[in-house]
């Protein structure tokens, strides 16, 4: 069972898909968007591309904000003002051009029985910030609207002090 505190190495193993055996569903995902990098990945990918980290961010990445947290992902080739489009690192003949160092969110996004739990693991570990009241309120809205949760992702697990959680939810703690 995947939990919020499942080690990243285990999560990556569960989501692994090698380039030679990647399925059409993975390629479809690359044609509709891109996943986010973790902060730790940025210098590694910049080096892989033989670029400075600053240039890598400027030329190849765009911000995405979820749950009041902003991460970077590969830019999307959009047409006609559409929100979705092809990842800049996707080649229709060769697949992912940065497969060896692709974004963590891409690494663990798959279409097996773990897919949803892996997505939630990434969200809880990289977007939902237990020390940011606004992030917690947005996560609460997600849960209240019927969003699934993995162990470690309930509000009481993220903010164990119930008095603090109540103050956050009542907007008595703003930052």
Convert the pLDDT of each residue in 37-83 to its tens digit.
999 999 999 999 999 999 999 999 999 999 999 999 999 998 887 88
What tokens does 138 get? 């947005």
pLDDT value at residue 84: 86
CA distance 52 to 39: 15
pLDDT value at residue 97: 93
Residues lower than pLDDT 50 in the chain: none
The average confidence (pLDDT) of the chain is 92
Q: Residues with Cβ < 8 Å from 159, sequence gap 6 or more?
A: 130, 136, 165, 168
């Amino acid at each position: 069972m995947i939990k919020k505190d499942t080690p990243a190495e285990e999560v990556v193993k569960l989501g692994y898909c090698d380039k030679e055996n990647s399925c059409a569903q993975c390629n479809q995902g690359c044609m509709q968007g891109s996943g986010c990098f973790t902060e730790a990945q940025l210098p590694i990918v910049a080096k892989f591309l033989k670029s400075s980290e600053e240039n890598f961010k400027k030329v190849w990445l765009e911000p995405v904000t979820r749950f009041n947290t902003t991460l970077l992902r590969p830019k999307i080739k959009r047409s006609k003002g559409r929100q979705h489009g092809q990842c800049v690192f996707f080649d229709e003949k060769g697949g992912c051009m940065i497969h060896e160092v692709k974004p963590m969110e891409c690494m663990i996004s798959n279409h097996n029985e773990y897919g949803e739990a892996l997505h939630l693991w990434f969200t809880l570990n990289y977007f939902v910030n237990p020390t940011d009241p606004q992030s917690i309120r947005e996560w609460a809205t997600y849960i209240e609207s019927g969003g699934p949760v993995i162990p470690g992702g309930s509000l009481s697990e993220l903010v164990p002090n119930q008095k603090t959680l109540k103050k956050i939810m009542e907007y008595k703690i703003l930052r």
